[in-house]
Amino acid sequence: MPKVTVATDWLDVCAGCHMSLLDMDEHLIELLSKIEITSSPITDLKEPPEEGVDVGILTGAVSDTHQRRVARRMRERCKILVAIGDCAAMNGIPTMRNDLTPDDVLTRGYVETESTVDGKIPKSREIARLLPQSMPVHEVVKVDVNLPGCPPSAESIYFVLKELLEGRIPTLSGEYLKYD
Amino acid sequence: MAEITLTINDKEVKGEDGDTILNVCQKNDIDVPTLCHFDGIPDMGSCRICIVEIEGSGRPRISTSCTTPATDGMIIQTDTEKLRGMRRNVLEFLLSEGNHHCMYCAASGDCELQDLAYRFGIDYIKMPVTPSEESTHVDSSQRYLVADPNRCILCYRCVRVCNDMAGNQVLGISNRGSKAQIISDMGENRGESGCVSCGTCVQVCPTGAILDRRSAYMGRKTEVDTTKSTCLFCSVGCGNEIISRDNYLIRIEGDWDAEPNKGLLCVLGRFSPLYDECRARANKPMIRKDDQLQKATWNEALNAVAEKLKFTDKDKIGGLVSTHATTETLKLFAKYSDDMGAKNVGCIEGPISDPPEKGFDLSDLNDADLYVVVGEDLSEGLHQVVGFLIKRNLIERDKRLVIVNDEETGLIEFADKHLKISELDKAIELCKDAENPIVVYNDEAINQVDKMREELADNAKFFWMPPGINSRGALAAGLDGEFDPDKASCVYVMACEAGDISEELLSKLKKADFVAVQTSYMEPWDEVADVILPTTIWAEREGTVINMEGQELKVNKAVDPPKEVKAEADILNALAEKIG
């Protein structure tokens, strides 16, 4: 039987959800006999293959134009999209900026920070622009499974992947559904 | 009460006339999720989680079960697909606005909103997640608590307890819709408002919108130990719950099941013991050598005291006790001083008047129509909870408060009349006209109240506010006399936590030949003591006290005392053994 292909990517997020993924320890070895991780931000290959994967995993909220592109690309290239973590599922920490304009946010970050002297907001066509509001992934593309948690525990990520391998869309409850 | 029969979820259940649908469900163990409902405070149906379907002609009506009266023959569904969907929507709306992100919230794990979200399996929120329309500032101006309106779900619990339970009328709501928020007074910061820091709002907040500063992030309910006990800071004897973790005191809460306070506490009982007590703990026995207190062993310290007591003329021995002590300890103290023949014994608060009423019931305050407060303040200092119980009754139109005091007190703004003590006759007249008057007084007003008692006979109830904590316990132990420092050359003080000692008494104690103090804190006794015997504090004590009502209440130990600290009774017994 061919292995199930999985690609992961991250958006507006700390690396915590990916750390939780690695935190599966021996389960990871077990899973790797059934799945193949084609690409992820923590492997050499970063982008999901053009021919597509079975399962796409996104962590983080969608806050700028680059992240929106990454989210859309993942959606196009995967059959089942899993949003992992509070930021991806519920907007999480990035919500904090949603009552400010992008300009306010950049000025605070690059100019007004207490340790900054003569700060400037970097401007380049290569740098993505902030969207007016930060959004959870499901507001940008269709999401099949949301797994909140900050970060979700390794057990709950393992549970979700196992359920998907069994051909079921997981329903979260009890220990697998935590917001902190 | 007439019994009524309803059909809930196709099963016949019984309730009483006057019950709400929620009451009937709870009595019959039918699970209906609630959020703004809180046992003991009036319901208002603000959260809409407890909705049920009521069948009638046409489509079933959807109503909040907490505010809809149950009537005979009602047919109700509490758990249909439609209701579950609506409840989920309500939750998602609550979660979508403001800051309901659990990862950095101190209430996570103890949050009723979070519990419901878990219960309904909410893994994402359909609507956009945004902070409140009006970005609201965190109010940390209050010394004991932090209010974060972004975490507020407008359940009005705090508003209801502030007005209806504690009677303080500080919290309210301003604006409407998404701009609505909890305010203090007319929008002042909490710290500058009329808030009396009773902390009842902290205890009822279902989310992290109002947090106790000190105990935030120090442990969830499942991680801490809870000990039911009795507050030892005035004679109301409020039932409290001492929250501790690994033998460390975290927080004090009111006990909802306890008489007479039913969950209420005041700042002295809830916050001050952990926030404001900054005196150094007495944690080693000490003996004064070369005018300096120096560490000693228990044996040396007890020997030093025993020797003095043994060889001092019994008329020269004085005993001074604090009513922080339990009745058992006070009785033990009285017994040993009797055995020694010491007569010059009294309480730190001074002599206690022994009122003719041996007890009363604070819940009678709810039935009174006139309150006459003589001498007492009730708005600050001791007995504030009695003030709450009076204030919350004044919301009713036909109840009046009269203050008889030459000075301004904090209750005046709630009062109908403020009379001078010379106008006592007017107060007596008012009592005669009232149906059910209650006179609240303290020892300063004994003469006035004696006069009132004479004129009113049985037509009024008299509530005595004792000067100390366990004053009735001291009376029971026979310790109602006066201690005269001028006649004592060897003084034994059982101080417990008492620290508010007059300069006069201290300077007189300084002149005594020998002073032994059994105390929890060094201050102010380190100035006068020749021997310090370290003893327990309120949370380490075990025994009973008698409150102002005359009720015997249990004091339970929540934490172990430091290694070298002994319980009051153990010290007295050890000393008695050495004296023989």
Residue B518 pairs with which residues in a beta bridge? B494, B533
Measured CA to CA, the distance from residue B427 to residue B432 in angstroms comes to 9
User: How far is the first Cα of chain B from the last one, in angstroms, to the nearest whole number?
Assistant: 64
| Residue among A98, A143, A146 minimizing CB distance to B130 | A98
Contacts of B291 by beta carbon, 8 Å cutoff, 6+ apart: none
A81 touches chain B (CB under 8 A): no
Indicate yes or no: CB of B101 within 8 angstroms of CB of A146.
no
A83 touches chain B (CB under 8 A): yes
CA A127 to chain B, closest CA, distance in angstroms equals 25
Q: Give the pair of three-digit tokens for residue B494.
A: 């059982």
Amino acid B542 reads E
Q: Is B490 helix (H, G, I), strand (E, B) or coil?
A: strand
Query: What is the full per-residue pLDDT of chain B (580 aa) written as tens digits?
Result: 789 999 999 999 999 999 999 999 999 999 999 999 999 889 999 999 999 999 987 888 999 999 999 999 999 999 999 999 999 999 999 999 888 999 999 999 999 999 999 999 999 999 888 776 666 789 999 999 999 999 999 999 999 999 999 999 999 999 888 888 899 999 999 999 999 999 999 999 999 999 999 999 999 999 999 999 999 999 999 999 999 999 999 999 999 999 889 999 999 999 999 999 999 999 999 999 988 999 999 999 999 999 999 889 888 999 999 999 999 999 999 999 999 989 899 999 888 888 888 889 999 999 999 999 998 889 988 999 999 999 999 988 889 999 999 988 889 989 999 999 999 999 999 999 999 999 999 988 888 898 898 888 788 999 999 999 999 999 999 998 889 988 889 999 999 999 888 899 999 999 999 999 999 999 999 999 999 999 999 999 999 999 999 999 999 999 999 999 999 999 999 999 998 7
Backbone angles phi, psi at B153, to 5 degrees: -115, 15
| Residue among A95, A178, A179 minimizing CB distance to B129 | A95
Q: Are B354 and B467 in contact (CB under 8 A)?
A: no
Q: Are B73 and B24 in contact (CB under 8 A)?
A: no
Burial class (CB in 10 A: 0-12, 13-18, 19+), A74: buried
Measuring CA to CA, how many Å separate B196 from each of B185, B190, B238, B372, B388? 12, 10, 17, 22, 10
pLDDT tens-place string over residues B259-278: 889 999 999 999 999 999 99
Candidates B99, B103, B115, partner chain A, best to mutate (most A CBs within 10 A): B103
Q: Are B103 and A179 in contact (CB under 8 A)?
A: yes
CB atoms within 10 A of CB B35: 24
Measured CA to CA, the distance from residue B343 to residue B199 in angstroms comes to 43
What chain A holds in terms of domains, given with CATH numbers, is: 4-176 (3.40.50.700)
**CA B202 to mean position of chain CA atoms:** 13
Contacts of A7 by beta carbon, 8 Å cutoff, 6+ apart: A37, A38, A39, A40, A48, A49, A53, A55, A56, A57, A74, A77, A78
Measuring CA to CA, how many Å separate B104 from each of B135, B318, B483? 18, 57, 56
Indicate yes or no: CB of A172 within 8 angstroms of CB of B123.
yes
CA B114 to chain A, closest CA, distance in angstroms equals 8
Measured CA to CA, the distance from residue A163 to residue B543 in angstroms comes to 57
**CA B430 to mean position of chain CA atoms:** 31
| Residue among B103, B114, B124 minimizing CB distance to A150 | B103
Indicate yes or no: CB of B103 within 8 angstroms of CB of A179.
yes
CB atoms within 10 A of CB B289: 10
Candidates A84, A95, A146, partner chain B, best to mutate (most B CBs within 10 A): A95
Residue B465 falls in which region: left (phi positive, over 0), alpha (psi -120 to 50) or beta: beta
Size of interface A-B (CB pairs under 8 A): 70
Measured CA to CA, the distance from residue B172 to residue B14 in angstroms comes to 37
CA A66 to chain B, closest CA, distance in angstroms equals 20
| Residue among B105, B114, B125 minimizing CB distance to A90 | B125
Q: Give the pair of three-digit tokens for residue B278.
A: 């900054």
pLDDT tens-place string over residues B395-446: 888 899 999 999 888 899 899 999 999 999 999 999 999 999 999 999 888 8
| Mean of pLDDT values over A38-48 | 95
Contacts of B425 by beta carbon, 8 Å cutoff, 6+ apart: none
Q: Where are the alpha helices (DSSP H) in chain A?
A: 16-22, 26-32, 65-77, 86-90, 102-107, 154-165
Candidates B91, B99, B101, partner chain A, best to mutate (most A CBs within 10 A): B101
What chain B holds in terms of domains, given with CATH numbers, is: 3-79 (3.10.20.740), 112-212 (3.30.70.20), 286-352+473-541+559-579 (3.40.50.740), 362-465 (3.40.228.10)
